[in-house]
Amino acid sequence: MKRVIVVAAAAALAAATLASPAQAVRTAAEPAAQTEYVVLYKEGANPSEAQKAIEAAGGSIIKLNSAVGLATVTTSNSGFLDAIKDDAAIEGVARNRAIGVVPKEAKVRADVAKAVEAGAVEKEGRAGASPAKRGGKPADEPLGDLQWDMDQIRAGEAHRYESGDKRVLVGVLDTGVDGSHPDIAPNFSRSLSRNFTVDIPADANGAEVDGPCEVASCVDPADVDENGHGTHVASSIASPVNRLGVSGVAPKVTIVNIRTGQDSGYFFLPATVDGLTYAADIGVDVVNMSYYVDPWLFNCVDNPADSPESRLQQATIIRATQRALDYAHSRGVTLVSAAGNEAMDYTKTNTDTGSPDFASVPGQAPYTRTIPPSCVSMPSEGDHVITVSSTGASKRKSYYSNYGDGFIDVASPGGDVYDTPDNTRDIARATLAAYPKSLAVANGEIDENGEPTVPYVVKDCKGSVCGYYQYLQGTSMASPRVAGVAALIVSRYGRPDRRHPGGLTLDPGVVERILKGTATPTPCPTPAAFTYTRHLPSGSTVTDTHTCEGGAGGNGFYGKGIVDALRAVRQ
């Protein structure tokens, strides 16, 4: 099983708060606690001048993303932030998430554990009283009759004209990809895949994050997914047509695992920036980003509820992420992002009660903030990003999907288990894609004979080779289907890539134009204030009203419309 390995001394901050007074006294022989920061160089600044400023403030650079100008710095100077934030060569500085292990006596505090609404919504697709019913209609793949989502965007029909080109690379910026899954392996590139994360056993308050590490370095191999999220995303994009399980939207393109998310589902700034610039450097054509950059759902630069340090951290996240997005876009990467699952209109004033969702300093916990539209969630509100809302089987906007006229670019099926005639839950209204067998075993979701014990896990075999699949719902599931259509567009209309011989490329602006221009215009519901009713398994009923603004040519629920793979490759 997992074992705890000390990675860095940053978590000594938490140790000090948990020790007895006698233990908390540091002797002269003990080294000073190290704290980690990310430092964003001012655009156009001389890197050597920025390095001098960091060193003068007592910092040491342990990693530098030169494409963006983002340095990861460690220091024992408690006044490092104040010493450097106003330097002429520095644009932003923020305390980085803690890494390492807290003492054994540390206790998990439920009030500071991460409350990821996205995860809760996606896992809701798992609940149900019985297995999904098979449709019985012919399909390319054995489980194809369970893939209503493929029918909604006419992906199967599109495959008669374009099913993808292996020279097209799709980067999955996520929690990892199970490269050994039999319905992913044929299209998976181990040689190009990378892991930019370090697992975090516990946060600064002692709350478990990723749990004890399975490897001494706390860095998993680049073909592993101990969360399941990234594998579902990769399968949705590019599971091959191989008479096993399901098919992806672009079943012949190449998947590259660019791991930027922790096992726990956190996505921190350095890893996400590194992932984007790596994708650009190796010639990736499309990336899928089904996440927001932690620890802030919304980043504000002048919110009165935030401390000066928190404002500076959020400003740094905005600027560094946008630089990485600009870098990738300028090098031919089409950027696709999930809109998020908070059921909010992002063009209005909202309330955020879940940020900061990670404790990088002891005692840190989420608090309530009023969020005006000027605050932004990254990367979904970044420039050059195609932002995707989710639809259910009936094509209505999913009850959980964020929305907003001018925020949403296109819509795509991500599932809605309550999109049923009587508004009761049906797992078949979620989306089905690959699931790592190791997770199914660890979670007790298959028995000793390898048979599923829960209705949300499906097994399919071809001879002695078996694959497992799970139902999930969320904008995280909608976004990769758009990424898949984008990959079909590059496959269909791309040209040889001079920068990366052997690859194809197509200007991201052209890809976006085709995606939007071939999407099926979908008007707001009538009335525009649509009320969702959900009869929960507990017996209670929940209602929620979302108002759609705009017309059929562009509105807050669907953007330019629901993507259409067939039209995209036959325009």
pLDDT digits 0-9 by tens, 306-317: 999 999 999 999
Check whether residue 472 and residue 383 sit in a common domain.
yes
pLDDT digits 0-9 by tens, 153-179: 999 999 999 999 999 999 999 999 999
pLDDT of residue 133: 56
Which residues does 546 contact at the CB level (< 8 Å), separation at least 6? 343, 345, 397, 403, 529, 530, 532, 557
Cα–Cα distance measured from residue 268 to residue 571, given in angstroms and rounded to the nearest whole number? 39
The angle that helices 117-124 and 475-493 make with each other, rounded to 10 degrees, is 90
pLDDT of residue 211: 79
Distance (Å) of CA 478 to CA 61, 390, 409:
38, 5, 12
Check whether residue 91 and residue 157 sit in a common domain.
no
Tokens standing for residue 239: 């599971």
Cα–Cα distance measured from residue 146 to residue 433, given in angstroms and rounded to the nearest whole number? 10
Cα–Cα distance measured from residue 294 to residue 314, given in angstroms and rounded to the nearest whole number? 10
Is there a domain that residue 132 lies in?
no
Check whether residue 450 and residue 345 sit in a common domain.
yes
Is there a domain that residue 295 lies in?
yes
Q: Which tops the pLDDT comparison, 137 or 175?
A: 175
Quickly tell me which residue has 């000594």 as its tokens: 12
Check whether residue 309 and residue 417 sit in a common domain.
yes
Phi, psi of 437 (to 5 degrees): -60, -35
Question: Domain holding 104: CATH number?
Answer: 3.30.70.80
Cα–Cα distance measured from residue 91 to residue 145, given in angstroms and rounded to the nearest whole number? 52
Check whether residue 83 and residue 148 sit in a common domain.
no
**What average pLDDT is seen over the chain?**
89
pLDDT digits 0-9 by tens, 253-302: 999 999 999 999 999 999 999 999 999 999 999 999 999 999 999 999 99
Cα–Cα distance measured from residue 313 to residue 331, given in angstroms and rounded to the nearest whole number? 27
Query: Is the Cβ–Cβ distance between 552 and 521 less than 8 Å?
Result: yes
Domain that holds residue 90: 12-111
Q: Hey, how many other C-beta atoms are within 10 angstroms of the C-beta on 557?
A: 27
Is there a domain that residue 429 lies in?
yes
Is there a domain that residue 504 lies in?
no
Quickly tell me which residue has 């904008």 as its tokens: 475
Quickly tell me which residue has 């000073």 as its tokens: 32
Whether the per-residue pLDDT at 251 is higher than 70: the answer is yes
Query: Is the Cβ–Cβ distance between 413 and 149 less than 8 Å?
Result: yes
Which has the minimum average pLDDT: 113-122, 149-158, 512-521? 113-122
For the segment 325-350, the average pLDDT, to the nearest whole number, is 98
pLDDT of residue 124: 67
Is there a domain that residue 5 lies in?
no
Is there a domain that residue 271 lies in?
yes
pLDDT digits 0-9 by tens, 383-398: 999 999 999 999 999 9
Whether the per-residue pLDDT at 45 is higher than 50: the answer is yes
Number of structural domains in the chain: 2
Distance (Å) of CA 107 to CA 12, 112, 321, 542:
15, 11, 34, 35
Helix (H, G, I), strand (E, B) or coil at 403: strand
Check whether residue 323 and residue 397 sit in a common domain.
yes
Helix (H, G, I), strand (E, B) or coil at 552: coil
Quickly tell me which residue has 């705890």 as its tokens: 4
Peptide bond into 372 cis (omega under 30): no
Is there a domain that residue 216 lies in?
yes
For residue 250, the number of C-alpha atoms closer than 13 Å in the C-beta half-sphere is 33
pTM of the model: 0.90
Question: Confidence band (pLDDT; 50, 70, 90) for 562?
Answer: very high
Check whether residue 177 and residue 65 sit in a common domain.
no
Cα–Cα distance measured from residue 436 to residue 430, given in angstroms and rounded to the nearest whole number? 18
Check whether residue 194 and residue 265 sit in a common domain.
yes
> What percentage of the chain has pLDDT greater than the value 70?
87
Q: Hey, how many other C-beta atoms are within 10 angstroms of the C-beta on 8?
A: 16
Is there a domain that residue 540 lies in?
yes
Residue 278: in which H helix or E strand, if any?
Answer: helix 269-282
Which residues are registered as beta bridge partners of 385?
335
pLDDT digits 0-9 by tens, 521-545: 999 999 999 999 999 999 999 999 9
Whether the per-residue pLDDT at 115 is higher than 60: the answer is no
pLDDT of residue 97: 79
Which has the minimum average pLDDT: 44-53, 117-126, 481-490, 556-565? 117-126
Check whether residue 474 and residue 419 sit in a common domain.
yes
For the segment 223-248, the average pLDDT, to the nearest whole number, is 97
Tokens standing for residue 395: 């094509």
Q: Which residue from 364, 368, 569, 422 is spatially nearest to 485, judged by alpha carbons?
A: 569
For the segment 450-462, the average pLDDT, to the nearest whole number, is 96
Check whether residue 267 and residue 350 sit in a common domain.
yes
The angle that helices 508-518 and 475-493 make with each other, rounded to 10 degrees, is 110
Which has the minimum average pLDDT: 30-34, 55-59, 303-307? 30-34
> What percentage of the chain has pLDDT greater than the value 90?
81
pLDDT of residue 122: 65
pLDDT of residue 98: 64
Whether the per-residue pLDDT at 99 is higher than 80: the answer is no
Whether the per-residue pLDDT at 3 is higher than 80: the answer is no
Cα–Cα distance measured from residue 452 to residue 173, given in angstroms and rounded to the nearest whole number? 29
For the segment 485-513, the average pLDDT, to the nearest whole number, is 97
Tokens standing for residue 184: 């992913």
Q: Which residue from 398, 392, 471 is spatially nearest to 433, judged by alpha carbons?
A: 471
pLDDT of residue 11: 30
Peptide bond into 356 cis (omega under 30): yes
Question: Domain holding 412: CATH number?
Answer: 3.40.50.200
Question: Confidence band (pLDDT; 50, 70, 90) for 361?
Answer: confident
The per-residue DSSP string of 295-328 comes to T-SSB-SS-TTS-HHHHHHHHHHHHHHHHHHHHH
Tokens standing for residue 26: 């540091």
pLDDT of residue 110: 33
pLDDT of residue 118: 42
Check whether residue 106 and residue 174 sit in a common domain.
no
Whether the per-residue pLDDT at 399 is higher than 50: the answer is yes
Check whether residue 220 and residue 298 sit in a common domain.
yes
DSSP structural state of residue 534:
E
